[in-house]
Structure 1
Amino acid sequence: MIRDAFNTRIGFILAAAGSAVGLGNIWGFPTQVANHGGGVFLLVYLLVVLILAIPALYTEISLGHAAQANPVQALRSLAQRPAGVGAAAGAGMGYLNVGGAILMLSFYHLVAAWMLAQGLASLALALSLDQLSQWLQTGSHSRDLVLMFAFISLTFGIVIKGVQQGIERWSRRLMPVLVLLLLSLIAYILTLPGASTGLAAYLIPDLSALQQPGLIVAAMGQAFFSLSIGLGGMMIYGSYLPKDTRIGKLVFGVAGLDTLIAFLAGLLIIPALYVAMAQGLSVAEGDQLIGEGQLIFQILPQLFAQLGTAGAWLGFAFFALLSIAALTSTIATAEVPIAYAIEQHQLSRRQAAWIIAALIAVIGSALVIWFEPLFNWVVTYVTQFQLPLSGLFYFIVLGWLWQRSNRLRDLAKQQLKYRLLFWHLRVVCPLLLLWVFVDVAF
């Protein structure tokens, strides 16, 4: 079977950065900044991106690139020692990646449905469609199901067309629109009263915050999670690169674009919080910023409502931004189970896409109907256990289990700089990630 592949380097960078640019960048990063000393968190974050996140991204992409296969087959073939046991462990982690990707897509599409609801409600309000706006703003099973199915259709309508014609083509369209929307929103927010105070809080480090407990772990966790590492999406993207591709510069390109968008998101959200405070809205609980869900779905919509007609269009643009960020992430994650179904079960891409989409629709519907007992459990399992556990296993495979055709291992025998890099990936990164895993999980 001839595997699909990316057609251009820029197409890969935009697609991989699109996978990484998700809700963690647009709302997670600014929230962490606000709760950990503003600019000082930004400095620590940039440092740990270099120390942990870029090595983790390089590791996951390298595994897929070397194996040229889906996560199950890739990890099975590269976990070469001990003989038999390593392959079984690798395959087991690959299956966890496939299952985790399906679970993540189930709750991510529901969250995306809420974003669509808010964005379309703002648009309906701007167009004086008050009854439609009211229905979109009022939470209900019917609203959530309709919009979730719509977003699932968007995701699988893209991936069903393949890597070049679907993922790469749409990433080249969506990422520039996302950046343009982000810059436009920043430009508008910075004109409002209170924004300059927020800008100072974001960009001027409060060095006393370096003594905050949990600052470094929070920065490591955010840097790791923001690059969408741990579910096999970057691995499958790496497998679609030609075998002779040098991936080092590509990894820095992806990480750089992802970090830039996270930084720009901070330029939008932090000043917007201070604008909201200037409008009399409460954005904190004690000394901590109000929860991310409340911030996005309650506080900011209240702010937009106070800005009149301009606020309605602002709200539409903001939630369009979030929806695009969600879509670029879902199309990457969807490729994990689709590639597995195609390569392991000899299904056509169309068959695989329909089956996976139907499975996600069923699980997502269960999350809508039985929200209270299921939603938080699924989110916690994927984000706090699956992602760091998978990332830790990737480091172990690259550093300890992968023997034959491990280019980095071979280079480490010849040059000191590669020897240092290899030991950093082999020892330092797993220990740092284990620290994050223990802190988050327990």
Structure 2
Amino acid sequence: MDNRPQWGTRAGFILAAVGSAVGLGNIWRFPAVAYENGGGAFFFPYLFALLTAGIPLLVMEFTIGHKYRGSAPLSYARLSKKYEWIGWWQVAVSFVISTYYAVIIAWAMSFAGFSFSLKWGDDPEGFLFGSYLNLAEAPGQVGSIVPGVFIPLVIVWVIALGVLFKGIKKGIEIANKIFIPALVILFLIIVVRALTLEGAAQGLDAFFKPDWSQIASPKVWVAAYGQIFFSLSIAFAIMVTYSSYLPKKTDITNNAFITGFANSGFELLAGIGVFAALGFMANQAGVPVSEVVAGGVGLAFVVFPQIINEFPALNGLFGSLFFICLVLAGLSSLISIVETFVAGVQDKFKISRTKAVLYGGGLSAVISILFATQGGLYFLDAADYFINQFGVALAGLVEVVIVAWVLKELKNLQNHADSMSDIRLGGWWRVCLGIITPAVLGYMMVQNIITNIKDNYEGYPTSFLLYSGWGVAIGAVILGFVFMSIKWQKNTLEIPENKEVSQ
């Protein structure tokens, strides 16, 4: 008998999956990546990557979770005992990400408050790194805890762990039914306002104008696959975990298509809003849009405050709405990330959900304090880069190679998905996962390794990167094998009957 908790509704699962996929990267990574890789022309490789890697991988992870009814480590152990470590590796990657992701949400929470009085003044960059973060002089220096970051960080963890304590149906599902509609409505208000600003058309022209000469560049295709891969929460152990809470009768393939297209739809919306605002900023400064384009932390916490300063009316209101959107997008993703190790610990050690949230979430919250110190931004930057490039992307490559080529499980997984779904997968699915995805991810990985051996990331000292970057990425793999060495309790690896139960 399967006593696993379940989603209350199909919509609840889809909103949770979309909530996990739609995170900070959709708002601050996608617009810049699209612009730098051919503008409107980028959408062709992007759509191709979504259909040949994003959705096929979502289907695979949804199917593994649904068929084997467990957290990522338990599902991989049931697939093959030898490869349980992949599940733990992905859980360790999620654990690392949760520790610093919470801090970025805390920044956004602070800036939502700062917006009302435009506290950053005429120099948002100086305010961010100086007054707010009180940034240490050099990478590796920890310094003291920054109260302005630490206090909202505590609030972030209280909300996230509070939701997780309530469980799947009464916690995660209800939270996403509030967060995701609220996020979309608030972001639509921002986009509509941005579109009415002087210079918005100039920004949209820069965003959508296709540069077809870039289509032939391998760099552009790799960027498209990378964006899809990092955006959809693939290889984080999240989608395997979430799908393990699905009832017996569920349309796996359809759910994957809805999740994939909903995530991409929000990315496109974000691109329109961001570039309309950048067009306004360029217009105000009398410079081309290319001079004001930015991505990541710089876009959110430096460029957007500059744009908000220039708003003709209601600056504080629209500023706070933007940062509230970052908080909502971040919280829905953080909750999904923490759920992966909560579920893994619960399955492995047979402890209550309350204890798993307390131990797993509590440890992550304590470690996250490191990123709330004066040197926190340097540690965050290095950990984020290396755990994504050599954690998420590499784990995804290993996952798909082992499932497709070593265990040769694609046909079995396809049969399970087809038996549940209205859309039948066909041979294209196996070709995508067996050939296209491993080839592209493999190429990405080789290029990343060559780049990082030739030049230190961001010019950071080698000694700093060895423990804050490479050490973190390698440590996640080692943890995978450490946890695999702990024996499962009796009968845990038996695959339960796929019966529907209430939570």
Contact map agreement 2:253 2:417 (CA 8 A) in 1: no
Cα distance change of structure 1 residues 299 and 405 upon mapping to structure 2, 3 Å threshold: closer
User: What is the CA distance between 1:160 and its match in structure 2?
Assistant: 1.1
Partner of 2:201: 196
Q: Which amino acid counterpart does residue 102 of structure 2 have in structure 1?
A: H
Q: Which amino acid aligns with 2:107?
A: W
Please list, as runs of the form range in 1=range in 2, the aligned pairs for 1:92-111 lying within 5 A after superposition: 92-111=85-104
Q: Is 1:366 matched with 2:370?
A: yes
1:208 to partner: Cα distance: 2.8
- 1:293 to partner: Cα distance: 1.6
Partners of 1:213 and 1:60 in 2: how far apart? 27
Give the direction of change, closer, same or farther, for the CA distance of 1:24–1:387 in structure 2 (3 Å limit): same
Secondary structure class of the residue paired with 1:242: coil
CA–CA separation in structure 1 for the residues paired with 2:266 and 2:410 = 37
How far, CA to CA, are the matches of 2:193 and 2:92 in structure 1?
A: 41
Match of 2:488 in 1: none
> How far apart, CA to CA, are the structure 2 residues paired with 1:243 and 1:317?
40
- For residues 320 and 211 of structure 1, the distance between their equivalents in structure 2, rounded to whole angstroms, comes to 39
Provide the residue aligned with 2:277 in structure 1: 272
* Aligned pair partner of 1:180 in 182, 185, 198: 185
Unaligned residue ranges in structure 1 (runs of 5+): 80-86, 127-133
- 1:276·1:300 contact (CA, 8 Å) conserved in 2? no
Matches within 5 A, 1:236-385: 236-280=241-285, 289-307=293-311, 310-369=314-373, 370-371=375-376, 374-385=379-390
* Equivalent residue runs for 1:200-239 within 5 Å: 200-212=205-217, 214-239=219-244
Would you say the 8 A contact 1:78–1:397 is kept in 2?
A: no
- Which amino acid letter does the alignment assign opposite residue 389 of structure 2? Q
Distance 1:120 1:418, change over 3 A: same
Corresponding position of 1:166:
171
For 1:406, what is the secondary structure of its paired residue?
Answer: helix
Question: Structure 1 419/294 Cα, relative in aligned 2: closer, same or farther at 3 Å?
Answer: closer
Does 2:115 correspond to 1:115?
A: no
Shift of 1:137: 6.5
Distance 1:167 1:410 in 2: 26
- 1:152 equivalent in structure 2: 157
Greater mean alpha carbon deviation, residues 385-394 or residues 369-378: 369-378
The yes-or-no answer on 1:408 pairing with 2:407 is: no
Ranges in structure 2 where 5+ consecutive residues have no aligned partner: 120-126, 135-145, 419-423, 451-503
Cα 1:115–1:373 shift into 2, 3 Å: closer
Identify if the C-alpha distance between structure 1 residues 441 and 265 changes in structure 2 by more than 3 Å, giving closer, same or farther: farther
Aligned match of 2:493 = none
C-alpha distance in 2 between matches for 1:404 and 1:319: 42
Whether the aligned pair in 1 keeps the contact of 2:238 and 2:336 (CA below 8 Å) is: yes
Query: SS of the counterpart of 2:330?
Result: helix
1:283-319 deviation per Cα after TM superposition (whole angstroms, max 9, x unaligned): 9887x94342212111110111222651111110001
SS at match of 2:314: helix
Question: How far did 1:281 drift?
Answer: 8.2
Matched, 1:139 2:133: yes
For 1:70 and 1:266, the matched residues in 2 are separated by: 34
Q: After TM superposition, give the deviation of residue 200 of structure 1 in Å.
A: 2.2
Tell me the number of residue pairs that the alignment of Structure 1 and Structure 2 aligns. 423
1:417 and 1:358 mapped to 2: Cα distance?
A: 41
Identify if the C-alpha distance between structure 1 residues 17 and 410 changes in structure 2 by more than 3 Å, giving closer, same or farther: closer
Separation (CA, whole Å) in 1 of partners of 2:286 and 2:330: 27
The change in CA–CA distance for 1:213 and 1:275 in structure 2 (over 3 A counts) is: farther
Per-residue deviation, 1:329: 0.4
Length-normalised TM-score, structure 2? 0.79
**How far apart are 1:280 and its partner, in Å?**
1.4
CA distance in 1, matches of 2:21, 2:331: 11
Percentage of matched positions with identical amino acids: 30
Counterpart of 1:139, as a letter, is: L
Instruction: Give the Cα–Cα distance (whole angstroms) in 1 for the partners of residues 415 and 431 of structure 2.
Output: 10
Deviation at 1:393, TM superposition (A): 2.7
> Does the 8 Å contact 2:86/2:399 carry over to 1?
no
Distance 1:96 1:410 in 2: 25
**Deviation of 1:96 (Å):** 1.3
CA distance in structure 1 between the aligned counterparts of 2:131 and 2:185, rounded to whole angstroms: 26
Alignment of 1:46-125 (within 5 A): 46-79=47-80, 87-88=81-82, 90-123=83-116
Q: Are the counterparts in 2 of residues 60 and 394 from structure 1 also a CA contact under 8 Å?
A: no
How has the CA–CA distance of structure 1 residues 356 and 282 changed in structure 2, closer, same or farther, with 3 Å as cutoff? farther
Deviation at 1:357, TM superposition (A): 2.4
Counterpart amino acid of residue 421 in structure 1: W
| Conservation of the 8 A alpha-carbon contact between 2:72 and 2:240 | yes
Assess if the C-alpha contact under 8 Å between 1:35 and 1:289 holds in 2: no
Which segment drifts farther, 326-335 or 33-42? Answer: 33-42
Equivalent of 2:429 in 421, 426, 435: 421
**SS in structure 2 opposite 1:427?**
helix
State the alpha-carbon separation in 1 of the partners of residues 241 and 288 from structure 2.
40
1:36 aligned partner: 37
> Relative to 1, partners in 2 of residues 1:137 and 1:261: Cα closer, same or farther, differing over 3 Å?
farther
- Whether the aligned pair in 2 keeps the contact of 1:283 and 1:295 (CA below 8 Å) is no
Change (3 A) 1:301 1:396: same
| Deviation by residue 1:343-393 (Cα, 9 ceiling, x = unmatched) | 111221111112222211221112233426632331122211111122123
Classify the secondary structure of the residue corresponding to 2:308: helix
- Please report the RMSD computed on the Cα atoms of aligned residues, expressed in angstroms: 2.6
